[in-house]
Amino acid sequence: MNLDKINKTYLLIAFGWLLIVAVLGLVIRMLFVFPLGLNYKYILHAHSHIAFLGWGFNALMLGLLMKFSKKKKDYNRLFWLTQICIFGFGIGFLTQGYHVVSIVFSTLFLIVSYFYAYQLNKELQSQPSTPAIKFAKASLFYLVLASIGPWGMGPIMALKMIHSIPYFLGIFFYLHFTYNGFFVMSMIAILFRQMEDDGIELPEKASLNFYYWTNFAVIPAYALSALWIKPHIIVYLISFIAALIQIIAFIRFYPFIKNAFTKWKPKLSKLVIQLYRLAFFIFAVKLIIQLLSATPLIANIGYKLKNYFVIGYLHLIFLGMFSLFFIGWHIHNKGYQINKIAKNGLYLFMTGILLTETVLFGNGFLTWARLDIIPEHSRLMFYFTLMMPVGLIMFFIGQYKTKA
């Protein structure tokens, strides 16, 4: 694996998984409009697992290896083992749901991810402990921590406790430490190292403070994922303090990152600036939503209307923040090329995100206000979702066209 110059084959494989995720998302939306006779749960499981592990894990790990590994070739077998696992559990989920094939390949994936984490962390230990390195180490810690959730599903399902409180808490454990731990910390680590490589300096003291306070709040912030069971008031207090700490850390660090970004802009293309800014804006929105959801009123509303608010939130973070950041970052590093067809495809993809989020959150607020929801919303969601795989196909085709 040669990632000194980004290996386009690996990046296109990662992008291919994102395209498959978008197609499966379209099929899910299609089931609400056209009676196709397909198993909704099977497709949903394949969609979510490929999203996290096919696109999410690959994009993050390739980014971390590119920026922090000095022994990139050592990961070649791990990369291909990972793809075999993703293909295996993808087929398993689509044909059987949670059954032998999907469970075996999902388990193998977890084991392979541990080898990734161990090997890369070993390399990080020998490097100067900069803020970027600290965030990279933290991301690997949360990657391993999040895996406790899937491991716990076996005993829970064996005890026939599916759809019980422990079952959902296990799922939310995985989601929380993947989203707010592995994803976020990896993104910040890669961003910080990229700025270093581009000669943009961030004050070390301010960066370290941001690191310590942000990480301090990650574990107690899991309490946010338990508010739907209406716990003791102390749990609400813990979740509120954790969310508040992250917002304060962000506000204190904002002037420094803003100043650095101003210096960075001349080295970035207009499109990359747009993608970074949008991802940064959604990150700020994410922190605000976390704080609001720590209150009993908002937590209860969010759970009652989870098909709108929770699904909308997860898609907003995964597609709007994470995916756009990494596409922009790879464009910045010449891993993905941009020409007219690729740019138009990317804008179509972004439009699909915007419109589907509008419908999801719009219906949530309308239902909360006891008003009529958006007419023909299922059909609208299908057509708006269609924009995403079409846009990604255009972007993919653009990688093989001569640069304009």
- Give the whole-angstrom CA distance, residue 92 versus residue 105: 8
Per-residue confidence (pLDDT) for residue 282, from 0 to 100? 94
CB 14 within 8 A of CB 62: yes
Taking the CA atoms of the chain, what radius of gyration do you get in angstroms?
21
Mean pLDDT, the chain, whole residue set:
90
Per-residue confidence (pLDDT) for residue 402, from 0 to 100? 58
- Give the whole-angstrom CA distance, residue 109 versus residue 141: 17
Long-range contacts of 43-51 (CB under 8 A, 24+ apart): 43/94, 45/93, 45/97, 45/98, 45/102, 46/90, 46/93, 46/94, 47/21, 49/89, 49/90, 49/93, 49/102, 49/106, 50/17, 50/20, 50/21, 50/24, 50/86, 50/90, 51/18, 51/21, 51/318
Among candidate residues 167, 121, 124, 170, the one with its CA nearest the CA of residue 143: 121
Q: Average pLDDT in the 369-398 region?
A: 92
Q: How confident is the model at residue 404 (pLDDT cuts 50, 70, 90)?
A: very low
Given a cut of 60, is residue 261 above it in pLDDT?
Answer: yes
Q: Average pLDDT in the 156-174 region?
A: 80
Among candidate residues 235, 232, 224, 229, the one with its CA nearest the CA of residue 290: 224
Q: Encode pLDDT of 89-128 as tens digits.
A: 999 999 988 888 998 999 999 999 999 999 999 999 999 9
Q: How confident is the model at residue 254 (pLDDT cuts 50, 70, 90)?
A: very high
Distance between first and last Cα of the chain: 29
CB 103 within 8 A of CB 85: no
Q: Average pLDDT in the 379-395 region?
A: 95
Q: Encode pLDDT of 327-353 as tens digits.
A: 999 899 888 888 999 999 999 999 999
Q: How confident is the model at residue 5 (pLDDT cuts 50, 70, 90)?
A: very low
Given a cut of 70, is residue 78 above it in pLDDT?
Answer: yes
Tokens for 69, please give them: 């590994």
Instruction: Please state the length of the chain.
Output: 404
| Reported pTM | 0.91
Amino acid at residue number 29: R
334: left (phi > 0), else alpha (psi -120 to 50), else beta? left
Q: How confident is the model at residue 1 (pLDDT cuts 50, 70, 90)?
A: very low
Among candidate residues 178, 210, 166, the one with its CA nearest the CA of residue 314: 178
Per-residue confidence (pLDDT) for residue 230, from 0 to 100? 86
Per-residue confidence (pLDDT) for residue 198, from 0 to 100? 93
Q: Average pLDDT in the 199-219 region?
A: 94
Amino acid at residue number 114: Y
Given a cut of 80, is residue 58 above it in pLDDT?
Answer: yes
DSSP for 15-67 reads HHHHHHHHHHHHHHHHHTTS-----HHHHHHHHHHIIIIIIIHHHHHHHHHHH
Per-residue confidence (pLDDT) for residue 158, from 0 to 100? 67
Tokens for 328, please give them: 């922009």
Q: Encode pLDDT of 37-46 as tens digits.
A: 889 999 999 9
Q: How confident is the model at residue 6 (pLDDT cuts 50, 70, 90)?
A: very low
Per-residue confidence (pLDDT) for residue 205, from 0 to 100? 94
- Burial track 210-239 (b if 16+ CB lie within 10 A, e otherwise): bbebbbebbeebbbbbbbbeeeeeebbebb
Q: How confident is the model at residue 27 (pLDDT cuts 50, 70, 90)?
A: very high
- Give the whole-angstrom CA distance, residue 177 versus residue 275: 24
The residue among 93 and 165 whose pLDDT is bigger is 93
Q: Encode pLDDT of 289-331 as tens digits.
A: 999 999 888 888 877 888 889 899 999 999 999 999 999 998 9
